[in-house]
Structure 1
Amino acid sequence: MRKIILSFLGVLFIVLSVLVAKKLIANKHKPKPVKEKVVKTVFTDTVKNGTVPIVIPANGSLVAKRRVELYAEVQGVFKSSKKLFKPGQKYRKGELLISMNAEEYYASVQSAKSNLYNTIAAIMPDLRLDFPDVYQKWQDYLQGFDLSKTTPQLPKMSSEKENFFITGRGIVSSYYNVKNLEQRLSKYKISAPFSGVLTQALVTEGSLIRVGQKLGEFIDPSVYEMEVALSKRYASLLKEGEDVVLQNLNKTETYQGVVSRVNGSVNATTQTITAYIEVKDEALKEGLYLEARLNAKEETNAVEVDRNLLLEGDQIFVVRDTILDVIPVKPVYFSETKVVLKSIPNGEIVLKKAVPGAYAGMLVRPFKNVKKASK
């Protein structure tokens, strides 16, 4: 019985060994699975050369084109007027901005004018006897002399003798002394040189104003200028009268400006050139920060692409029969995100977006082909 069991187990072991051997032999000759090759889908664009405007970005703050810093040339107490001397107050051209108490100085001016009048009146008898031909014009001058008004100009001397006589009596020197006092008296009042608004007020009514003290700032809010510094390589491109588009930082408001002036020299330290952009708009305020886009020139027979598509050595990828290739190009202008290229043949298919890990000879599938296949 024992021999029968051992014989059965031996036969079973042999059969299992044969089956395992056959399976191993079958697996050895089975072909390995082929890994499917991945083909990247790319976005492409067909080149169509044309005229590309070269736009130079710049930014800066607005400053009123006409502005006046108010300073005192005389000393006195600030008198009250119809309008409060406060920031934001509007004035018309010629309207009184500041008035200082000048009663004491006014009295000295009137005294000098009175002395001039008396001096001329004292020589009238001598003029009647020695210069009867000029007596009447000096008589008319005295009759038109009004102490409450500005001193009129002296009559024109008709002869050398008359000139010596009048000058010898000190009349000419007295006249110019009076005119000098009147000129200084006018400085006790400051009028608006143009219609505008007060942006800074450093004195208040009743305060003592001293000579040389700054009183405030006055601007014309109708016209503003923005100073921008540009690279010297744009010096030959900038022209006066060029239109400029300006936007605020949020890109929500757009304004139209024009290049009013271009500095004729380059800053030796920064190697930049300064341009001034004039802009008019009721919504603008001084100090507002804007971004400008200056139309410097137009590049013909060129195309604009994303800057990250340009490879080292001035080359870009093109798609030829689903395979990437590279061609040389000529960049003519760089902006922050774009580059203007020349020397690309019309009809060439280029990448529209950069492909990570791309190389010449890489197999790709243009996105437009995928769209057609899905229809």
Structure 2
Amino acid sequence: MDDYLIQNASSIDSPALVIYPERIVHNIRTMLAMVDGEADKLIPHVKTHKMAEVAKMQVEAGITKFKCATIAEAEMLADTGARHVLLAYQLTGPKIQRFGELVQAYNWVEWASLIDNWVSAEELAAGFEKTAYKPVVYIDVNLGMNRTGHAVDAGLEAFYRELKADERFDLRGFHAYDGHLRDPDVAVRQRQADEALKPLEDFADRLEQEGEPRPVIIVGGTPTFTNHARRPNVWCSPGTCLLWDWGYSDGLPEQHFEWAALLITRVISKPAPGLITTDLGHKAVAAENPLNKRIRFLNLSGYEVVGQSEEHMVLQVADWNNIRIGEVLYGVPYHICPTVALHDEAQVILNGEVVERWAIDARKRRITY
């Protein structure tokens, strides 16, 4: 825990997001080690960090394919050396025009997007019918999360074959996110992941037997990264593991990533005996989970979060008399992805010192396009 302490913390206004690049390097190396060093097997998601500097670190490690969720994240990737970018979202409305502007501006990047129905496919095709670009697409498949994706049914094979034959598209394969599979027992999670993916793998095998190119299968996120990392013929797309958080470190103990992003907050009041208030409100840490699953403090024990509002977090503490106004607390977010999106910048810590600030540009909905 002492490794996280910041010697010049007095220079940081709170609440603040702080980043430890050496731990990011460790996490990138761990991610690569899990796929036996095969960088081409990775297509990591950038929705967690949203920072150009982190994306550059991945590119420098040999990773050139990425997933993202927004146009802003896509633009950030194009500016940092990515060569294949999958906007893992169903494009509709103005997003198609904005995506087209990216395609035109960054023509050295291989752009791709998702579709799971013919309405979206037709809209995407119409958006590019007067251009030289043939949309590269992956069929989004619902493996049971019931968020997006074509059902794994008889219609999926027909949809694939029709789309593959349609000269308006360059169909590469499938995208299958199984983020709902989070059983703490790795063996149970493995069985669930295998069962969910088997119909796609069987179909890919059948296509190969027919003499067709084997479709790419992009599968999983961080929860099932363990289960797919050594699976042949797939690309893996972990994301949260770049920064890591309390939720996944507890739920996925077999993954040896390190907390590379923390929040610092200060005690601003002691409103009643046993209570302290910090400046860590809803606007600084993801608040979609219950109070007891928002932050874990590293340098405070015997506490319970009892209240939170936009600018304040109230804690019941055991050692009330010895806690000082202005004291700095270091905390690990339970869910780092939406926490990062609440901050404009991150303070960068090297050797216990703040050395610079990194802009979290892709938290915006629009950078240029």
- Tell me which of the two structures has the higher relative contact order, counting C-alpha pairs closer than 8 angstroms and 6 or more residues apart: 1
Tell me which interval the TM-score lies in, with the shorter structure as reference length. under 0.3
Scaled by the length of structure 2, the TM-score of the pair is 0.19
Pick the structure with greater CA Rg.
Answer: 1
Scaled by the length of structure 1, the TM-score of the pair is 0.19
Higher helix proportion (structure 1 or 2): 2
Higher strand proportion (structure 1 or 2): 1
